[in-house]
Amino acid sequence: MKGYVDGYVLPVPKEKLAIYKRMAAQGGKIWMKHGALRYVECTSDDLKSAEKWGGVSFSKMAKASRNDKVVFAFVIYKSKAHRDKVNAKVMKDPAMTDPKNKDEPMPFDMKRMAYGGFATIVDYQG
């Protein structure tokens, strides 16, 4: 299966997680409305396992503090071109361009968010 994935990792202060969850739920509805195949947001539960195996945990990668939960999120598309079309529609959606949302601060530090687009190379599904 060809596919394309936008992936995100970011630390969110625990006291702002409910705000982030509301924003993520709204975002998921908008992305799905405009054609994304899947939209998933997850919060950290076990981030120490990577260090046991000699890797780097998402906590370290995101420079998360003890007061943060790390969010791992991804959006799945048919292709990179499909992603570009969906994202263009999302950015023009009235919910995204509403002036009253413009002044609402993000519940996390954008400078510590990692983001990237990924071409699918293996995809097993049950």
Q: What is the pLDDT of residues 40-71, one digit of tens each?
A: 999 999 887 766 777 888 888 888 999 999 99
Q: In what order do the strands lie in the sheet with 38-43?
A: 38-43, 68-77, 4-13, 114-119
DSSP collapsed to 3 states, 41-77: EEECCCCCHHHHCCCCCHHHHCCCCCCEEEEEEEEEE
Domain of 60: which CATH number?
3.30.70.100
pLDDT confidence tier of residue 85, bands split at 50, 70 and 90: very high
Q: Is residue 124 in some structural domain?
A: no
Q: Give Cα 114 distance to the centre of its chain.
A: 9
Q: Are 77 and 83 in contact (CB under 8 A)?
A: yes
Q: Is residue 126 in some structural domain?
A: no
Q: Is residue 39 in some structural domain?
A: yes
Give the rounded percent of residues in the chain with a pLDDT score beyond 90. Answer: 64
Lowest mean pLDDT among 3-7, 26-30, 65-69, 110-114: 110-114
Q: What local confidence, expressed as pLDDT, does residue 55 receive?
A: 81
CA dihedral 13, 18, 22, 25 (to 10 degrees): 80
Q: What local confidence, expressed as pLDDT, does residue 11 receive?
A: 96
* Range(s) of the domain holding residue 37: 4-119
Average pLDDT, the chain: 90
* Strand pairing report for 38-43 and 4-13: unpaired
Give the rounded percent of residues in the chain with a pLDDT score beyond 70. Answer: 94
Q: What is the pLDDT of residues 17-43, one digit of tens each?
A: 999 999 999 999 999 999 999 999 999
- Residues 91-124 as b/e (b if ≥16 CB within 10 A, e otherwise) read eeeeeeeeeeeeeeeebbeeebbeeeeeeeeeee
Q: Is residue 49 in some structural domain?
A: yes
